[in-house]
Structure 1
Amino acid sequence: MIGLIILSLLIIAGYTTAVCIKTKGIPYSISATYYTLDHKLIFGACMALTAMFLFPVVWELSTSFTMQLLAVAACAGLLGVGLAPDFKDTWINKVHCTSAAVTLICSQLWVALTPIWWVLIPVWTLYIIYTVWYMAKHVTDSIVSDFIRTRPMFWVEVAALTSLIISIIVLTP
């Protein structure tokens, strides 16, 4: 089990770090990195492999039917993100955004149903503190512009993955 966790973490963290280094900055979302790649299949492969390596672990750690459904939905959603990466296309955008929302919501509900649900509090509190701090540091005449400048979707994705990975690591025997 720990091997699958390490593989999934290396894939998603390695991919995200590499594209941030390549683009010399934080993207608007992990999905936005798809457009910076020379080899577009890398994005889909990383999302699919992350989901496939995580699935057996979250399934095994699921203590109820509800948690198993959430595990399936979260991993299937991440597969959907990887299979429909071109979110600038109108039709694909619907698949991509629905898949991303399912992944985000179901993964966080899964964490909320674990005995260490409280891990959500510090992770999401750090996200909120960062957002407020960054917005206060770069004040313009538009609160929307200030908020978008914080790259909220990227940090929401990182927070969701962080809370999930921490929960999995702590819960794995």
Structure 2
Amino acid sequence: MVLVIISLAIIAAYTTAVCIKAKGVPYSISATYYSLDHKLIFGASMALTAMFLFPVVWELSTSFTMRLLAMAACIGLIGVGLAPDFRDDWINKIHCGSAALTLVSSQLWVGCTSYWWVLIPIWIAFIVYTVIGMSKHVTGDIWQDFVSTKPMFWCEIAALSSTYCACGLAFKLLLKSL
């Protein structure tokens, strides 16, 4: 459980710090890379988040498929950290591929746990937030209204939240059985 807390503390501290520095929510966690004075902080935060989380999700995985998903999710997050400059055409392919791998694999991993149901309220909250946000920012351009809600940032927060919730619930059950 200590590793989950460390992993969560790293990503939460990084995200909170960059939101405070920017005085608001960025378009994505990855977009914060461009606002940093010390660019290595982004890569270190992503890599350390994944490396501390990996042993936990590996141990909580009850099948070969879940272990592959756990590995893919963590490797993807490390890839995001290693290829942060997504404005570069070549790096963009690595960054976006890694981000997609992390998002899809982590959510499939959560879906394979006994706590798959955490996905429902978290993703419903994301959808409701987006719809309400779009309704407050009606410009006649639905794409612009959608982008104004900063959906990528909230999508990343939803994916992280569901992963950490599933890990926390699994450890709570594990502690009860001891």
TM normalised by structure 1 equals 0.99
Which letter does structure 2 place at the counterpart of 1:93? N
The residue aligned with 1:159 is: 158
The RMSD of aligned alpha carbons is 0.4
Which letter does structure 2 place at the counterpart of 1:6? I
Whole-Å separation in 2 of the counterparts to 1:118 and 1:101: 22
The residue aligned with 2:14 is: 15
The residue aligned with 2:69 is: 70
Whole-Å separation in 1 of the counterparts to 2:150 and 2:4: 27
Whole-Å separation in 2 of the counterparts to 1:151 and 1:110: 25
Whole-Å separation in 2 of the counterparts to 1:31 and 1:95: 13
Unaligned residue ranges in structure 2 (runs of 5+): none
The residue aligned with 1:25 is: 24
The percentage of counterpart residues that share the same residue type is: 69
Whole-Å separation in 2 of the counterparts to 1:146 and 1:98: 25
Unaligned residue ranges in structure 1 (runs of 5+): none
Within a 5 Å distance, the mapping from 1:86-105 to structure 2 comes to: 86-105=85-104
Whole-Å separation in 1 of the counterparts to 2:141 and 2:87: 25
Within a 5 Å distance, the mapping from 1:130-145 to structure 2 comes to: 130-145=129-144
Whole-Å separation in 1 of the counterparts to 2:105 and 2:140: 36
The residue aligned with 2:110 is: 111
Query: What secondary structure, in the 3-state scheme, does the structure 2 residue paired with 1:26 have?
Result: coil
Which letter does structure 1 place at the counterpart of 2:43? G
Query: What secondary structure, in the 3-state scheme, does the structure 2 residue paired with 1:91 have?
Result: helix
Which letter does structure 2 place at the counterpart of 1:100? A
Query: What secondary structure, in the 3-state scheme, does the structure 2 residue paired with 1:73 have?
Result: helix
Per the TM alignment, residue 116 of structure 1 is displaced from its structure 2 partner at its CA by: 1.1
Whole-Å separation in 2 of the counterparts to 1:78 and 1:116: 22
